[in-house]
Chains A and B, each alone.
Chain A
Amino acid sequence: MSSPIISVAQTPRQTDPSGASQGSPVQQDVGPEAPKSAVRQFLMSRSSGKAADTTFLAIMLMCALSIFAIVIFILFILIARSKLSISQFGFKFFTRSAWDPVSGDFGAFAFIYGTLATSLLALLMAVPLALGVAVFLTELCPQKLRAPISFLTELLAAIPSVVYGLWAVFVLVPLMRDQLGPLLQKYLGWTQLFNGYNFGVGLLTASIILAIMILPIISSIARDIMLAVPISQREGVLALGATRWEMIRMGVLRNARIGIVGAIILGLGRALGETMAVTMVIGNHPEIPNSLFSPGYTLASVIANEFTEATGDVYLSALIEIGLALFLVTIVVNAIARALVWAVTRGAPARAH
């Protein structure tokens, strides 16, 4: 069956060149050097497209891989530079609260405590407010107000940390010292949380400024996630006779809860690493605070304050080890948060405006 087809296909090929040569032998000599059409010439001239494509892909891939490289390089260099402190103090570094640069005795527990206390307090204040804003923006807000309000909350995110710090130093600290602090001591003093002398700077002030700073990130991500909840869920609950709040609770919040947890953890990650504003108002005192008014210290602010003044290799390496701990913790926290947010918004990117 196949042999005749092959022979048919082969015949023109065999005969064609011979026919051409037979017709005009002069043309055969000129043939290869004959002027080609413009299109053919163009196509011939860019025959190296494959190589260019490969080179281009390689360059793009290299740039993309550089993101991996950055993370690995940061990890590597931080470990290399903190080797001294790691070998000297071991794991105990994170459970002891001694911080004595003079005698070279270092432990980071007071800073870890300060970081966790301020971050969690900030979350406690920011999360209900952020969720309120997100609910307002997605479910309650009149269409006209939606864009300006979300723009305003995004502006909050655009204010640099150091400007928040400046405002906190000159407005929030006096406010806390003279008005808010005494009020809290008078009415909530029985909780024993507000003991001690109120300097204005301290854990509570730092937590408030931190809460203001992480609000926009939590609310904007929570808003995106709530927008990703299909409208049919809302309609279904409303059709059963629910009030608007019941619709929000059962139709929206329940469906979006994983993503909202992700948004909150993302806010936590931001709070853990926030440096400048906290450094300016927390009081910078390396002891475990026993009241919300007492000055404390966080991981990030001890680095910011003491890094350039660190004398001696052990001191420097202890500070770098704190940085390493901060790096690892925020990586883990962010990875968890991103995974949760992705689980909700994958497939349908939450950009419906």
Chain B
Amino acid sequence: MLTNPFHTPPPPQDFAATGPPVQQRSRRVRLNRMRRHLWNHVVTGLAVLSTVIVIAPLVAILAYLIYKGASSLNLAFFTHIPAPVGEPGGGMANAIVGSGLVLAVASLMGIPVGIAAGVYLAEFGRGGWLASAIRFTADVLNGVPSIVMGIAIYSLIVMRQKHFSALAGGVALAIMMVPTITRTTEEMLATVPHAIREAAYGLGVPRWRTVLSVTLKTASPGIITGCMLAFARVAGETAPLLFTAFGNQFWSLRLNQPIAALPLQIYVYAISPYDEWHRLAWGGSLVLIVLIMVSVTLVRIYANRGVLKGAS
């Protein structure tokens, strides 16, 4: 028997006295309604409050970061390598360039593999058990802690080479990029209307050519978005670089040598006891976060009015 949970069940009727029970009942209904509406307002208030509490640390972090970071940025920050302990000045030029190099290596390896895997999932494996298994593995791999990637790459490359290297850092970051890119590529390809593929087949275009020049091209804004998001995510990663790229106080552009990276340098400076290094850490954080935020925001704007809107 279904009952309406919002309706207070009428009290057992007493046919002998009709006056007072009606009054009692209406009072109880009114009280019940008041309680329910009060509760409604309380919960609404709590939801708004929790949103405010969540936004607060973000604002606090960003405001403090801009305040501390902006005051420590100058030209030397972008052109000099770190000064020795105790000397004022110095910058993080080598870390910025190093980060760029490691990220370039990671993108070169991670993006093609990720997109190709996404193409397989969306175009060839749709509905099959293999594709489901791969999709699931990608999602799970996405959640593996970055420090574990660091250890694995250390064991594979650094232990063999017997020294830390930029290449090892790039490989670690590339592995972290693959699952994200795969999943977004797949999702974006799924939004491409099937009629476009059929039109290409109808013209006698082979399948590989259809995928490369028709499907991928149609979905390219979304795929670029996915790549940028993956890039932004690994750009701030420190843990996988600790035992692979390792960091370097000097200029180095060689792939098989230890190399400085922005997040690594921030970590080292943040836990150091020197005020001058703390200043550099704040500056570095601001640069890093501006880089990430700009790419994420660009991606959002681009994706919002992208080609995809008309596609589905």
Contacts and interface: CB of A to CB of B under 8 A. Distances in A.
Asked if A pairs with B, the answer is yes
Interface of A: 43, 46, 49, 52-53, 55-57, 59-68, 70-71, 73-74, 77-78, 80-81, 128-133, 135-137, 140, 149, 151-156, 158-167, 169-171, 212, 215, 219, 240-246, 248, 250, 266, 269-270, 272-276, 280, 300, 303-304, 307-308, 319-320, 323, 326-327, 330-331, 333-335, 337-338, 349, 351
A320 B151 contact: yes
A52 B208 CA distance: 7
Interface residues of B, number: 96
A86 B113 CA distance: 34
24 contacts: A55-B208, A64-B116, A66-B113, A67-B179, A73-B156, A129-B53, A129-B54, A136-B47, A151-B300, A154-B296, A158-B236, A160-B237, A160-B238, A165-B267, A166-B285, A240-B5, A246-B40, A304-B147, A307-B242, A323-B152, A326-B148, A331-B140, A334-B143, A351-B187
Nearest to A248: B43
Contacts of A303: 147, 150-151
| Interface residue SS majority, chain B | helix
Interface string B103-121: 0000000001110110111
**List of 3 A-B pairs having minimum Cβ-Cβ separation, nearest first:** A160-B236, A273-B145, A132-B50
Contact of A140 (B47, B125, B296): B47
A304 B239 contact: yes
Contacts of B270: 162, 165-166, 169, 280
B271 A67 contact: no
Contacts of A55: 208
Contacts of B155: 77-78, 80-81, 320
Contact of A334 (B54, B140, B178): B140
Contacts of A53: 206-208
Given A162-B263, A163-B236, A215-B54, A269 B143 contact: yes
Nearest to A54: B208
B124 A135 contact: no
Contact of B143 (A63, A270, A323): A270
Interface in B2-43: 4-7, 36-37, 39-40, 43
Interface string B147-161: 111111011100100
A219 B54 contact: yes
Contacts of A154: 296
Contacts of A323: 147-148, 151-152
B120 A63 contact: yes
A353 to B, nearest CB: 10
B223 interface: no
A67 B119 contact: no
B139 A338 contact: yes
Contacts of A327: 144-145, 148
Interface stretch (B60-68, B77-85, B86-94, B192-200): B60-68
A269 B139 CA distance: 12
B147 A275 contact: yes
Given A166-B266, A246-B36, A70 B143 contact: no
A279 to B, nearest CB: 9
B4 A240 contact: yes
A154 B292 CA distance: 12
B120 A276 contact: no
B278 A276 contact: no
B178 to A, nearest CB: 6
Contact of A335 (B55, B136, B147): B136
B44 A335 contact: no
B57 A212 contact: yes
Contacts of B47: 132-133, 135-136, 140
Contact of A78 (B55, B151, B289, B296): B151
Contacts of B5: 240, 246, 250
A338 B146 contact: no
Contacts of A241: 4, 6-7
B236 A244 contact: no
B60 A171 contact: yes
Given A78-B152, A162-B236, A163-B236, A155 B58 contact: yes
Interface in B286-301: 288-289, 292-293, 296, 300
Given A70-B141, A132-B46, A163-B266, 7 more contacts: A56-B207, A62-B116, A74-B148, A160-B237, A161-B237, A275-B145, A334-B143
A308 B293 CA distance: 32
A74 B60 contact: no
B182 interface: yes
Contact of A67 (B7, B138, B288, B293): B138
Given A240-B6, A245-B39, A330-B144, A276 B238 contact: yes
Contacts of A307: 151, 154, 242-243
Contacts of B46: 132
B143 A160 contact: no
B303 to A, nearest CB: 11
Given A66-B178, A163-B65, A74 B144 contact: yes
B260 to A, nearest CB: 14
Given A74-B148, A77-B155, A160 B263 contact: yes
B224 interface: no
B48 interface: yes
